Amino acid sequence: MDVRAEFMGRFGVPPTILARAPGRVNLLGEHVDYNDGPVLPVAIDRAVYLAARPRDDDLVVLAAHDLGEQIEFRVADLEEKKDIHGNPLPKWALYPAGVAWACSQHGYNVHGMMVLYSSDIPIGAGLSSSAAVEVAFAVAWQALGGWQVERMTLARLCQRAENDFVGLNCGLMDQFASIHGVAGHVLYFDTRSLEWEALPMPVNTVLVVADSGVRRSLASSAYNERRAACERAVEILRGYLPHLRSLRDISTVEFAAFSEALPLEVRKRAEHVVKEIHRVFAAVTALRQGDARSFGAYMYAGHASLRDLYEVSCQELDILVEIARGLPGCYGARLTGAGFGGCTINLVQETHAEEFAQGLLKGYLQQTGRQANVYLCRASEGAKVEKI
């Protein structure tokens, strides 16, 4: 969609900036970012597109094209989370409003503006549509305000918006990937040190995202319960390993030695995290060696752990993974995102991509009676702003 033309049609004046922020898929390292673990996300070629023009006051006129909704709020009144008429901000508006709030809290000048945005990232599918919205607005306000800030700092401001304004305890991975994406590369991101590195995708492979069509609300799901279980595990294990700051700090051998001290459910959650972190380190070696087959094996193992230990999969996601396993050209498959529905990510030989996509669609329909949406994706560059 041409957001520039839509902006002109709605507001009667041209925008002065255009912004784009991609969604992401996570290839490995699920539910470890809030445990200080390393992750392997990829920014994808589906994104939020935004057109904006500054105002002379602090009024934000916000148009969500895909929802057919428009709302107005003042930056100075954001603590109340209400629009100019005193009504509570709808959930979709909390993400951009939260970014304005977080940036203002850190002393950055946040302009009033007229803004229209649209997205081709499926909402609620685990492809970080909300983080892409946050990042698109963050780079837009940065461009309009003329302030200089490191991209990692911008990612952390977006994370704070989601944690403290929207009310979801997400890690930093989604915002990081949307801002730092590198075309053709997987991003190795250490969520503790914030060090990162771009690693080439295995040659002659593509990413196939399969949307199960099953939706779960992240905020009302068991996401926060899983996070609390991990924190409880650290609290108990610190009695045996005083140096423990997070599950990142425990080796698989140490976990085997002391995990019996944990309640069963807490133990299962922690076991997934500890072993998933070690899978990421092994998968990095596979990427450096261009070994798609080994990398795919870690993806399959990761899905089994998310299904059996972290218990965030569902029947439809499990079916998609099993169908993928039996199709030619598939190296690996797993759920991506928080789970409870959403998408699987598949690493597939490029020459088999179309055949694979059709096989996945057909098999899923036969087994579930549901129609999946399947997207061929490539690793894309991160967020950018164009001044007109």
Write the pLDDT tens digit of every residue in 232-276.
999 999 999 999 999 999 999 999 999 999 999 999 999 999 999
Q: What pLDDT is stored for residue 36 in this prediction? A: 94
Q: Record the tokens describing residue 32, joined without a space.
A: 């470890």
Give me the sheet containing 59-64, strands edge to edge.
69-74, 59-64, 113-119, 41-54, 17-26, 384-387
Residues assigned a catalytic role: 174
pLDDT surpassing 50 at residue 219: no
Task: Note the pTM of the prediction, 2 decimals.
Answer: 0.93
Of 64-73, 81-90, 334-343, the least confident: 334-343
Distance separating alpha carbons of residues 333 and 324, to the nearest angstrom: 7
pLDDT, average across residues 13-27: 97
361-368, long-range: CB < 8 A, 24+ apart = 363/319, 363/323, 363/327, 364/210, 364/212, 364/316, 364/319, 364/320, 364/323, 367/319, 367/323, 368/315, 368/316, 368/319
Query: Could you give the 3-state DSSP secondary structure of residue 377?
Result: strand
pLDDT surpassing 70 at residue 221: no
pLDDT surpassing 60 at residue 84: yes
| Residue 87 φ then ψ, to 5° | -85, 145
pLDDT, average across residues 75-90: 96
pLDDT, average across residues 41-53: 97
Residue 278: which pLDDT band, with cuts at 50, 70 and 90? very high
User: Which residues of the chain form CATH 3.30.230.10?
Assistant: 3-200
Query: Could you give the 3-state DSSP secondary structure of residue 326?
Result: coil
Range 205-377 has CATH code 2.60.40.10: no
pLDDT surpassing 70 at residue 176: yes
User: Which residues of the chain form CATH 3.30.70.890?
Assistant: 205-377
Average pLDDT, the chain: 95
pLDDT, average across residues 161-187: 93
* Residue among 179, 184, 138 nearest 382 (CA): 179
* Cβ contact 306:88 at 8 Å: no
pLDDT, average across residues 344-371: 97
3-200 in CATH: which number? 3.30.230.10
pLDDT surpassing 90 at residue 223: no
Q: What pLDDT is stored for residue 122 in this prediction? A: 81
Residue with tokens 């704070």: 160
Residue 297: which pLDDT band, with cuts at 50, 70 and 90? very high
